[in-house]
A and B are shown apart, each in its own frame.
Chain A
Amino acid sequence: MDLGLLTRQSELCWRIEAHGAMRVPGVLYGDETLLEAMDHKVYEQVANVAALPGIVGASYAMPDAHWGYGFPIGGVAAFDAAAGGVVSAGGVGFDISCGVRSLNTGLTRAGLRGRESALADALYRAIPVGLGSTGGIRLDAVQMDAMLAGGARWALEQGYGEPADLERTEEHGCMAGARPDRVSDHAKLRQRDEMGTLGSGNHYLEIQQVEEIFDDAAARAFGLRPGDLLATIHCGSRGMGHQIGTEFLRSMAVAAQESGIRLPDRELACAPVRSDIGQAYLGAMRAGINCALANRQIITHLVRGAFARVLPDARLTMLYDVSHNTCKVETHTVDGARRELYVHRKGATRAFGPGHPDLPAAFRDVGQPVLIGGSMGTASYVLAGSAEGEALSFSSSCHGAGRAMSRHQAKRTWRGREIVDELATRGIVIRSASLRGVAEEAPGAYKDVGEVVDAADAAGLSRKVARVTPVVCIKG
């Protein structure tokens, strides 16, 4: 990105002054290196989002922002329904409520020594991964609607998980306002055999070791000590979310076309919150969020089962579950007034600061855990929401490393077997259904997540709490 197009507000905050159709400025977070490396398309997409009706404050880009669909990935935008604000299927994305869930295992790295392969095999057998895999659960029509309405709470009622899991999940495990009747039969059919599956691409299940602590108080609240083992799940709403996204992107695009709205990019298609299609999307998208929450809850149960077979001393408790592709109604202070806003986070993590009423009591003093995934050979991070985050980005932070190289280039650069062997020499055990998939997900194909996290920390979006490194990685 040409930095000459931006106004530098501070070391880590850059502005696109409102021009043309922009209703608000664009605000980008990151250091000079990250901003220079960002695609110019991010500039265009941040500016395009700033032109949408009812946008409040600014159109934001997190330090890991990259070229997305209409909205940048790493984009945050809030809309006021009373001011004609919109909801956008592209602003949420295809993988509705894709997110990260981490569990404390009650074990240390030393306690796993010698059992790494056995645990990897048990997890790989227990959790269906990769394209075409099916879960052990098949939902009929009534169960499907109950799942879409109930989310992780429904999963718990079916025997997956423990009651304490829910309070450590955003929305307490159940997104209110879900409308299963707004979800098409196609979406339901696509999901029928996919409950409890991890998916593919950048989705994974990792056993990680806490390598470094940056914030003692927050680490204590999150139950993290050096050498501790975590189990972390990265996946989303599977075929259900993909199909809801596909269908509403189209219906919003056609509706815009029919009503004569000229959008600079079809993918920006959106609808007023207070419209039939806007309400239909919100109802379906919330059902998609519940699908993702239920899915991660079922996988949690499967992970616990695999641990119990290999390491009976393990006691897996929830650290937290975050979603990074959502639109949620939240109340934020804007220019001194409390306003109800539809906050879109596309590839961005909610990061409520200390004292936020939605946080479990254990996190009230330190802020929300913000779980940031890296690649299978590099570090991941645990951060905490900051007090200043609300004013900076409606309490939002980054979500991951982002790719540095296309899949095609990665496939030509590495062979899956070499990656698996190389990681094994570093003590990282990989299990995957596809060696080509491993090559395309090679650690070298990703950007350095450390730079992104440092920028998020320095900008005040969230605070670094701990760095964790992979020990076992199950790739989809």
Chain B
Amino acid sequence: MAAPGNCNTGTWEHFPHGADVGVRGYGESVEEAFARAALALTAVITDPAGVEQRDRVPIRCEAPDTELLLVDWLNALVYEMATRRMVFGRFDVRIRNGRLDATACGERLDPGRHQPAVEVKGATYTALGVARRPDGTWVAQCVVDV
């Protein structure tokens, strides 16, 4: 059921959850896994490859643990997308001591070109996990409500 991503920046996938969608990012580091989970978030809405990187939006959040930080990160993106009417196609993430500093690159939403499928209402704590796998790589995931 998973939908592997073919984004040139790495791998992400969707996993099913009832009426909604799970987003999952893999990476060599927790930062990379967060960035790819964000790509999976964009892919719920539109093909990330079709998003031009014209504008950069700085994003900061802080949370008591890494899992909450993932939800905060994705919700910060949902908020920026909603209030700026943008979609993002590239993410640079740094995490230190429970604090995330990131840049999201994207452009203003163009409904004709992006054919947005659905709006994401928020990231949830369902199927939430940030973990290091036995091979040393990271996975970051949760369900988003659409």
Given the contacts A94-B145, A131-B116, A266 and B19 also touching, CB distance less than 8 Å:
no
* B119 x A201 contact (CB < 8 A): yes
Please give, as numbers and ranges, the residues of chain B lying within 8 Å of A254 by CB-CB distance.
64, 68
Closest chain A residue to B143 by CB distance?
Answer: A69
Q: Is A243 an interface residue (CB 8 A)?
A: yes
- Is A321 part of the contact surface with B, judged by Cβ < 8 Å? no
* 9-residue interface stretch from A296-304, A356-364, A381-389, A434-442: A434-442
A434 lies within 8 A of B117 (CB): yes
Q: What is the bound-complex CA distance between A383 and B32, given in angstroms? A: 50
* Contact between chains at B115 and A436 (CB < 8 Å): yes
Binds B, one of A102-110, A245-253, A286-294, A457-465: A245-253
B contact residues, total (Cβ < 8 Å) = 37
B79-87, B93-101, B132-140: which lies at the A interface?
B79-87
Give the distance in Å from the alpha carbon of A186 to the alpha carbon of B122 in the complex. 13
Could you say which residues of chain B place their CB within 8 Å of the CB of A202?
19
Task: Check B111 against A131 for contact (C-beta < 8 Å).
Answer: yes
Report how far A94 CA is from B75 CA in the complex, Å.
12
Shortest Cβ distance from residue A31 to the other chain B in the assembled complex, whole angstroms: 20
Neighbouring A residues of B111 by C-beta, 8 Å:
130-133, 433-434
In the complex, per-residue mask of A53-97: 1 if CB is within 8 Å of any chain B CB, else 0: 000000000000011111001000000000000000000011100
Q: Which of B17, B72, B118, B122 contacts A245 (CB 8 A)?
A: B122
B109 within 8 A of A: yes
Partner of B128, one of A241, A257, A266: A266
Q: Are B68 and A407 in contact (CB under 8 A)?
A: no
- Which one of A39, A241, A249, A408 contacts B18 once the chains associate, using CB atoms below 8 Å? A39
Closest to A254 in B: B64
Which of A201, A246, A267, A433 lies at the interface centre, i.e. has the most chain B CB atoms within 10 A of its CB? A246
- Complex Cα distance A132/B82, Å? 7
CB-CB under 8 A from B75, the residues of chain A are: 246, 250
User: With A95-B121, A190-B79, A265-B125 in contact, do A407 and B21 touch (Cβ < 8 Å)?
Assistant: yes
Question: For A411, what are the chain B residues with a Cβ–Cβ distance below 8 Å?
Answer: 117
- Cβ distance A24 to chain B, nearest Cβ, rounded Å: 23
Complex interface bits, A213-228 against B, C-beta within 8 A gives 1, otherwise 0:
0000000000000000
Partner of A242, one of B72, B121, B125, B126: B121
Q: Is A8 part of the contact surface with B, judged by Cβ < 8 Å?
A: no
**Cα(A254)–Cα(B125), bound, Å:** 12
Q: Which A residues are CB-close (under 8 A) to B117?
A: 200, 407, 411, 434, 436-437, 440
CB of A280 within 8 Å of the partner chain: no
* A-B contacts at CB below 8 angstroms, number: 126
Of A130, A189, A245, A409, chain B has the most CB atoms within 10 Å of the CB of A130
Contact B116 A434 (CB under 8 A): yes
Contact B19 A435 (CB under 8 A): no
| Contact between B115 and A435, CB atoms less than 8 A apart | yes
B124 beta carbon closer than 8 Å to chain A: yes
Q: How far, in whole Å, are A124 and B132 apart by their CA atoms in the complex?
A: 48
Q: Mark A418-444, 1 if CB is under 8 A from B, else 0.
A: 000000000000000111110010000
Task: Fill in one digit per residue for A32-69: 1 if any B CB lies within 8 Å of its CB, else 0.
Answer: 00000001000000000000000000000000001111
Chain B CB within 8 A of A402 CB: yes
Kindly list chain B residues whose C-beta atoms are within 8 Å of the C-beta of A250.
68, 71-72, 75
- Interface digits, A200-212 against B, CB 8 Å rule (1 contact, 0 not)? 1110000000000
Residue from A257, A269, A408 in contact with B16 in the complex, judged by beta carbons closer than 8 Å? A408
Query: Is A353 an interface residue when CB atoms closer than 8 A count as contact?
Result: no
Our pick among A93, A190, A433 for the contact of B82 (Cβ within 8 Å) is A190
Chain B residues in 8 Å Cβ range of A436: 115-117
Judge if B59 is at the interface, Cβ distance under 8 Å. no
Could you say which residues of chain A place their CB within 8 Å of the CB of B122? 94, 242-243, 245-246, 249
Chain B window 1-33, contacts with chain A (Cβ cutoff 8 Å), 1 for yes, 0 for no = 101000000000010111101000000000000
User: B131 interface residue, CB < 8 Å from A?
Assistant: no
Determine which residue in B21, B71, B119 has the highest number of CB atoms from chain A within 10 A of its CB, and name it: B119
Q: Are B119 and A253 in contact, CB atoms less than 8 angstroms apart?
A: no
| Cβ of A258 to closest chain B Cβ, rounded Å | 8
Expressed in whole angstroms, the Cα–Cα distance for A73 and B124 within the complex equals: 14
Residue of B nearest to A41 (CB): B18
A406 at the interface (CB under 8 A from B): yes
Within 8 A of B (CB), among A397-420: 402-403, 406-409, 411
Residues of A within 8 A of B124 (CB): 69, 94, 249, 267
Closest partner residue, chain B, to A400 (CB atom): B19
User: A69-B126, A257-B64 are contacts. A201–B146 as well, Cβ < 8 Å?
Assistant: yes
- Once A190-B79, A265-B125 are accepted as A-B contacts, the answer to whether A69 and B68 lie under 8 Å apart by CB is no
Q: List 22 A-B contacts (CB under 8 A).
A: A70-B126, A94-B121, A94-B124, A131-B116, A189-B83, A201-B119, A242-B78, A245-B122, A246-B122, A250-B68, A254-B64, A257-B64, A269-B125, A402-B18, A406-B21, A407-B21, A407-B44, A407-B146, A408-B21, A434-B115, A440-B117, A476-B119
- A residues contacting B by CB (< 8 A) are 39, 66-70, 73, 93-95, 130-134, 186, 189-190, 199-202, 239, 241-243, 245-246, 249-250, 253-254, 257, 265-267, 269, 402-403, 406-409, 411, 433-437, 440, 476
- Return the 9 tightest CB-CB contacts between A and B, nearest first: A406-B16, A131-B116, A266-B125, A242-B121, A132-B109, A246-B122, A94-B121, A436-B117, A200-B119
Given contacts A254-B68, A403-B19, 12 further A-B contacts (CB under 8 A): A70-B125, A73-B19, A131-B109, A200-B118, A201-B119, A265-B125, A407-B44, A407-B146, A408-B16, A408-B21, A434-B115, A436-B115
